[in-house]
């Protein structure tokens, strides 16, 4: 059974913030998706691709997460006005943040816990799941660059973010990384031909699946 996601408003040490007072003047809401790397009294930092983004949070910020309702009720029973951010969001948690840029400061309107960085159905619906085939030009534990040709013969180069949930499969073999801590660099090398399924998230391409269709020549 999938856990129920419940939205709660944060209980913070202040009632409002400068961001809240000019919220109506903010730009249209944007979305960032990544992993929580730091939690402060009134901020949350999320690693989006290779960039750390810090968002201001206040009593107007909604947090949507499994078990949030239970923790909110427990906090109220203990005399608090509600759950704190650290009660419902943990370091390392993949999240989707809806935010506004208010005078250069990023204000989080909502923070939603998600199963993984690259598996948001809503994001996939907007950006679409795509695939590319090419030859690996560079590979690290967290990124992969391929070179290829489009149907018209035009050359292209793409760099993908490799996340912990990125699946890697060699042709003729089962999914190699599922259920085992295997680095992509143990399975994919420069010169290998691959097909990559990915989603575009902002300016970054997040690989959900990498299939090695042909191994490169062994030197």
Query: For 120-173, what is each residue's pLDDT tens digit?
Result: 444 433 345 688 899 999 999 889 999 988 766 688 889 998 888 888 887 654
Tens-digit pLDDT string for the chain (219 aa): 444 444 445 544 333 333 333 344 445 778 888 999 999 888 999 998 888 899 999 888 888 877 666 776 776 778 776 677 888 888 998 988 888 887 778 898 888 888 887 644 444 333 456 888 999 999 998 899 999 887 666 888 899 988 888 888 876 544 444 445 578 888 899 999 999 988 877 667 888 889 998 988 765
How is the chain split into domains, by residue range? 5-114, 122-214
CATH superfamily, region 122-214: Copper binding periplasmic protein CusF (2.40.50.320)
Intrachain domains 5-114 and 122-214 with the same fold: yes
What are the beta bridge partners of residue 161?
A: 143, 206
DSSP assignment, residue 180? S
Q: Is 88 helix (H, G, I), strand (E, B) or coil?
A: helix
Tokens of 122: 């809503």
Question: Which architecture, in CATH terms, is 5-114?
Answer: Beta Barrel (2.40)
Whether the full predicted model's pTM is greater than 0.85, yes or no, is no
- DSSP for 139-154, written as a single string: E-SSEEEEEEE-TTS-
Please state the separation of Cα 218 from the chain's center in Å: 35
């Amino acid at each position: 059974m999938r856990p129920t996601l419940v939205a709660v408003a944060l209980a913070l040490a202040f009632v409002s913030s400068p961001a809240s007072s000019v919220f109506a003047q903010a730009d249209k809401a944007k979305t960032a998706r990544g992993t929580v790397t730091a939690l402060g009294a009134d901020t949350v930092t999320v690693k989006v691709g290779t960039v750390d983004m810090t968002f201001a949070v206040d009593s107007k910020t909604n947090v949507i997460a499994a078990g949030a309702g239970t923790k909110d009720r427990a906090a109220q029973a203990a005399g608090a006005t509600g759950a704190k951010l650290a009660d419902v969001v943990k370091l390392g948690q993949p999240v989707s943040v809806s935010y506004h840029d208010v005078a250069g400061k990023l204000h989080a309107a909502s923070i939603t816990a998600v199963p993984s960085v690259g598996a948001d159905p809503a994001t996939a619906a907007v950006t679409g799941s795509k695939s590319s085939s090419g030859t690996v030009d560079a590979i690290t534990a967290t990124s992969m660059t391929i070179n290829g040709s489009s149907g018209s013969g035009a050359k292209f180069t793409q760099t993908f973010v490799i996340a912990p949930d990125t699946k890697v499969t060699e042709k003729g073999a089962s999914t190699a990384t599922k259920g085992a801590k295997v680095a992509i660099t143990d399975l994919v090398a420069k010169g290998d031909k691959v097909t990559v399924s990915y989603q575009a998230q902002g300016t970054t391409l997040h690989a959900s699946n990498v299939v090695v269709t042909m191994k490169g020549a062994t030197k």
